[in-house]
Each structure stands twice: as structure tokens, then as C-alpha cells.
Amino acid sequence: MRPIRETIPLEEARQLIADACRPIDRSERVRLVDANGRVAAANVQSARDVPPFSRAGMDGFAVRAEDTFGASRYEPKSLRVIDKIYTGEVPKTALEAGTAIEIATGAPMPQGADAVVMVEETERAGGDVKVLTPVYPRQNVGRQGADIVVGQTVIARGDVLNPSRIGALAALGVGDVEVFAKPAIAILSTGNEIADPGEELQPGQIYDINKFTLSTIIQEHGGVPAPFSTAQDTIDALERAIDEAVLGHRSLGEGGCDVLVFSGGSSVGERDLILDVIGRKGEIVFHGIAVKPGKPTVFGTINGKPMFGMPGYPTSCLSNAYMLLVPALRAMARLQPRHTATVSLPLGQRIVSTTGRHQFYTVRIVDGQAMPAFKASGDITSMSQADGYIEIPAQTDIVEKGEVVDVKLF
């Protein structure tokens, strides 16, 4: 047994992690259909005007605006209809004085026309159209380049691609886009007692929870999870797993992972060997944070790559993933810090906290109150049945019933 005799404050741990986790510089090209949520790695400038031609903004008649001046319902202007243009067609006839061309919304404007009269403001009379209201030049016309002009920067390096930005790229005819690579996160569960869901449990075994909660949270925050097979509690097994993750594996490619996340083995028991392995293959930055749950957390580097040693207890592991891994992951993926919605509610039950440790306490929202939901670090339902959590500072030992608390929603 190697008890944790000293812990560091949460904010110091976060800063040490931030210093070690730098944004990814690698880039790749992805199809536009796969680009949502990715971060642009280069400026995209337009090679064409959008729209590429002046087009009708309404169904109606393309006209010379001056031919409609003075028109009214009592004294309409009569124009001869000489052609019809549908969307996607190229105009074949030029407009002359005293004429009009029927036109569909989005169709290219014919030569000589400078406005469109809405069909609702006209009446057909055989081969003519009566214009019931005047229009001014460029009325109901979308001019060429009104949206985007040649040479305009449409997407800037560092922009997060969303539906509207992807739409702008589609308007340019772009089929793929250069984006920063997502950080690859190797996930390694450790322990002789761990079995994968779907396997038959042997005596003394439990199913692996953390591999799946970590994979999900990594996907949600810009990373690519690469779960490995569970490693046994021996130095040799752990070192082999680390070499595969850090140096290269078929699931990660030649360069290996960008971050390695261990689940289990970070505590102080005889078989908690993560400290030994990091000490032999890399550098330990810290072991132990003044938080609850999640005190026995390890952070270090191996071959210059960040390594998180998360507690094996599911609630501790997931809580630490939100506290420590998510901010680092989003920074590496060049995403903005995670926004957490917060509501202020009265506490529905007194909470006694652990003095000296910053506590993340899960709560449910019931009838407008924050009700404690935390059971124990080993109980995943502490998280799955909670709506959010409150933070209790290290110097606070009691939060009384009725006190207003800030609930950060999951």
C-alpha cells in the first residue's frame, strides 16, 4: 500500500494538464457531408460569385422598370409577353422596350431586364400582361455576387464548421474541406476483475463501464476514442499495452495515440501499478487531487504524450473526465471551452461534505429543488439518475437544506 499523503488543488491540476495538452497541428481533408463539428485548418476563399448570375427573386415577369412607371390598378401598363424562363434555363430572348418575359423564382434574368413584377401584381390579357403597380430598378432581383464575391474569405482557419458554414461551402461547389485532425485517445481499462459486456462473468468479476462512458464523452467533445483490450494487473501487460497505444496500433495508425487514458490502477493498492509503469516509461506530473470523487488521479507523460490515470470507480472516472479530460480534449481539438447550462435552486436536503476536498455532488431536480443523487464512487447510477451537479468548495463542510445552489446541468 502507498497512501496518497499529499494532494494538489483542482485548479493547479487543470493548469498542469493544460500546459501538457497542446492543440493538434495535423490536418486532413474530409467530405463536406462529414465536416459538421470539424475545425477548418485553412482559409477558404471563393473562386466564384454567389449567386453566379442575377436571378429573379419572385415568380412574375421580368421587365424594364421604366416601362412600369405610372402603373396602377386603374391605369395598368400593358406589356407584350415574348418568352418564358424556368429555373435552370438560360434566357434565349433579350428584353426590349414595351415587352416582358414570364419568369420563375431563381431563374436567370434576361438581357435588358432590370426588375421583376410579382405575378400577384399583374393580370394576363391574351399575349399581353397588365402591370398593376410600378417597380423600381433591381426590385425583386437577386444580383450576381449579392451573397459572396470572388476572392471573399468564406471560412477562416479555426472556424468550427456548422450547418450554415457547410452550406456556404456547398454554395461554392466545394466537395471537401481541410480540417484539423481529431485527437486520438487510447482507452485502456486495467484489472483482472474486468470483463467486457457480452462476456460471461466469472466469479469475482464485474463488467467494464468506464471504457464505454469514456468513449462516449470523447466522441462528444471532439476526439476519436480507441478502446483497447483490458490489460491484466501486471507490469509486463501494462507496458505492452502502453507501447501499442503510444507507438502505434492498427486502430490508431503509425503515430499512435495523442493521449492515453487509463481506467483503474491509479489508487494505492498492491495491484495499482499505473504509477510504477509511468515511472519506468515516462514522467509523473502529479498523483492525487483534492477533489471528491476522484482523489486518486494520476497525470503524466510518456514519450511526450499526456497520460491520464483515472480511478476505476465509475462515478469517479466519469466525474474526472468532465473535470479534467474534457477541457484538455477540447483544447487539443481546437474547440471552444464546454458551455455548461446552470440553474439556481434551493437544496432539498442537507449535505455534509469532506473538508479540504473540492466536491462534485450529483443532484436530481425534483419539484423545483436540487435533491442529492450521489450514492458512492462505485455506483454509476450516481451519474445516470442525476440531472446535474453542484460544486462544494474545499473549505465548506456543510450545505444546509434550503440554501440556493448552482446546479450545472449534464
- Say whether pLDDT at 247 is over 80: no
What's the CATH number for 55-142?
2.170.190.11
Instruction: Please name the residues in contact with 133: beta carbons below 8 A apart, sequence gap of 6 or more.
Output: 68, 71, 72, 73, 117, 121
- Cα 354 off chain centre by: 35
Among 249-253, 272-276, 337-341, name the one with the lowest average pLDDT.
Answer: 249-253
Spell out the domain ranges in the chain. Answer: 10-26+182-332, 30-50+147-180, 55-142, 342-409
Which own/partner contact pairs does 64-67 have at CB distance under 8 Å and 24+ positions apart? 64/95, 64/97, 64/112, 64/113, 64/114, 64/115, 65/114, 65/115, 65/134, 65/135, 65/136, 65/137, 65/139, 67/97, 67/98, 67/100, 67/131
CATH architecture of 30-50+147-180: Alpha-Beta Complex (3.90)
pLDDT greater than 50 at residue 1: no
Q: Are 9 and 291 in contact (CB under 8 A)?
A: no
φ, ψ of residue 303 to 5 degrees: the values are 55, 35
Predicted confidence (pLDDT) per residue in 11-25, tens digit:
999 999 999 999 999
Estimate the crossing angle of helix 235-247 against helix 274-281, to 10 degrees.
50
> What confidence tens digit (pLDDT) does each residue in 348-371 have?
999 988 878 888 888 999 999 999
DSSP letters, 227-248, are: E-PPBPSSHHHHHHHHHHHHH-
Question: In the predicted model, what is the mean pLDDT of residues 290-298?
Answer: 88
pTM of the model: 0.83
pLDDT on residue 4: 62
Considering only the top CATH level, what class is 342-409? mainly beta
* Cell, residue 391: 460544486
CB 119 within 8 A of CB 64: no
pLDDT, residue 271, reads 47
CB-based contacts of 81: which residues, under 8 Å, 6+ apart? Answer: 61, 99, 100, 101, 102, 124, 127, 128, 129
At residue 282, the pLDDT reads 86
Q: Among 286, 301, 290, which residue's Cα sits nearest to residue 242?
A: 301
- The mean pLDDT value for 214-230 works out to 92
- Contact present, 232 and 258 (Cβ < 8 Å): no
Query: Which pLDDT band, with edges at 50, 70 and 90, does 268 fall under?
Result: very low
- Assess whether pLDDT exceeds 50 at residue 156: yes
**Other CB atoms closer than 10 Å to residue 69's CB: what's the count?**
12
pLDDT tens track for 55-79: 999 999 999 999 999 999 999 999 9
CATH number, domain 10-26+182-332:
3.40.980.10
